[in-house]
Structure 1
Amino acid sequence: MTDYIDQLKAKIRAATPRPNVARKAKNLGLAHKNYQNLQGSRELSRPRQKTIPKPPKFNG
């Protein structure tokens, strides 16, 4: 029974791609750059009103 499990583990390890360290570093650098750029911008995605309009009073 353990032979089958060991064979399965070996096949899974062989099928898993090895990490690309250079690509990972490049992606993390780009993510850090984007984060830093967005931290400086204070524009909202949508303009907001400073006060909430009150509903009209019911006169009836």
Structure 2
Amino acid sequence: MKRDKLAAAVAEAERFIARAKALPDAQPYERHGHSFTHDNFPRERGAIRRASMDLTRALADLRRPA
């Protein structure tokens, strides 16, 4: 295991965690007498998904020999 690959995986993990924690809380609202929850944050969800893919790639690189 190379330390530079390990450092890259740790950095990607920290970036993923930071993006996940930055996701806003669901916002309750009412419309026509019904209660709903606004939990649609496409930019934030996209950033989380991208960070997840980058983390997956960094972990795969870490597991590769040499």
TM tier, smaller: 0.3 to 0.5
Whose helix fraction is larger, Structure 1's or Structure 2's? 2
**TM-score (norm. length: structure 1):** 0.46
**TM-score (norm. length: structure 2):** 0.42
Higher relative contact order (CA 8 A, sep 6+): 2
Whose strand fraction is larger, Structure 1's or Structure 2's? 2
